[in-house]
Amino acid sequence: MGRHAQSGRVGGDGVVDVADGTVRRPYGWGRLSAFGLTVAAITCVIDQAAKFWLVDIFDLASRGAVAVAPFFDLVLTWNTGISYGLLQQQGAAGQWALLAFKAVVVVFLWVWLARASSRLTAAALGLIIGGAVGNAIDRLHWPGVMDSVLFHIETAGWSFRWYVFNLADVAIVAGVVGLLYDSLRGGGAVKAP
């Protein structure tokens, strides 16, 4: 056991060194880590439940494109790359490389979460982590990340189609927006590792 574990007492933010009164936080856990982990878990479960429902119960593959609204369709696509279909990988080595990259990013985000000082930063990082893990799970049991939401605008002389995405992507974007907002208002998001 280390000196601080032997001579310290656990405080709200970590181990307090009795000798000098300083707080030494565990590297991988902070006061808002449980909250961020809860947000991440809920995000991942909702994403996976929606995907399994669309594939196994709703059977989106056999239905083709399903119009939900004049500007919103459900379609089934498999993204073998990263966001917006970049870096498409068809082979197993490429898919494992993307999973490894995603694991490194999640570890970095987790360390950031362990140092988060605001609930908004912790929630935002939880959304990003949960979305990233949800998309990573897809790569383990499907041919790629399952995307199913298509927004589009069509008029007589003009047509616009956004990239097909999923709930995990929405969570990641919402998390990034939360981090940007928190950093602009002077919150804890600026304290990245």
Q: 47, 73, 138, 169: which is the annotated catalytic residue?
A: 169
Name the one residue in this structure whose structure tokens are 């799970």.
137
Angle at the Cα of 169 from the Cα atoms of 112 and 46, rounded to 5 degrees: 90
Q: How many CB atoms lie within 10 A of CB 84?
A: 12
142 dihedral zone (left: phi>0; alpha: psi -120 to 50; beta): beta
Specify the pTM. Answer: 0.79
Residue 169 catalytic? yes
For the residues of 126-145, what is the DSSP string, one character each? HHHHHHHHHHHHHHHHSSSE
The amino acid at residue 34 is A
What is the pLDDT, as a whole number, of residue 139? 84
**Rounded-to-10 torsion of CA 151, 177, 89, 134:** -90
Q: 47, 138, 147, 182: which is the annotated catalytic residue?
A: 147
Token pair in block for residue 33: 């880590």
Sheet containing strand 8-11, strands side by side: 8-11, 14-17, 23-24
Residue 47 catalytic? no
Per-residue pLDDT of the chain (193 residues; tens, 9 = 90+): 444 444 444 445 555 555 666 666 667 888 999 999 999 999 999 999 999 999 999 999 999 899 999 999 999 999 876 665 555 556 667 667 777 888 898 999 999 999 999 999 999 999 999 999 999 999 888 888 899 999 999 888 888 888 899 999 999 999 999 999 998 987 555 455 5
